[in-house]
Amino acid sequence: MVARTRKDLHSGKTGRNAEPPGSIGAAVNAAINRGFVVGREVLLGSIPGIVVGFNIASFGQFPGSVYPLVVRTALGVTKCAVDEVDLA
């Protein structure tokens, strides 16, 4: 019996930086690299919140390429750009 080799479906990609600039994946990776991970406490202005996920919407008023963070505050859940929040 001969072992089968697995073909790499993403042979042209070289890791995390393989996403095209301006894409949702690049925005989410940039947010993660800056420390905005799920469960991280943040400040949205003076309002405390917590990162609960990442916005992967590709259309609409708040696309993930511009607003990659989903943050829960006492006022509700919102989509945020990385420059709108600070690490707590």
Ordered domains of the chain (ranges, CATH): 40-88 (2.30.30)
- Find tokens 């042979």 and name the residue: 11
pTM of the model: 0.76
Which of 81, 73, 76, 71 shows the shortest CA–CA distance to 24? 81
> Comparing 10 with 79, which gets the higher pLDDT?
79
CA dist., res. 76 & res. 88, Å (int)? 18
Beta-sheet pairing, 69-73 with 47-54 = antiparallel
CA dist., res. 88 & res. 50, Å (int)? 9
pLDDT at 66 over 70: yes
Q: pLDDT (tens digit, 9 = 90+) per residue, 8-55?
A: 445 455 555 566 777 999 999 999 999 999 999 999 999 999 999 999
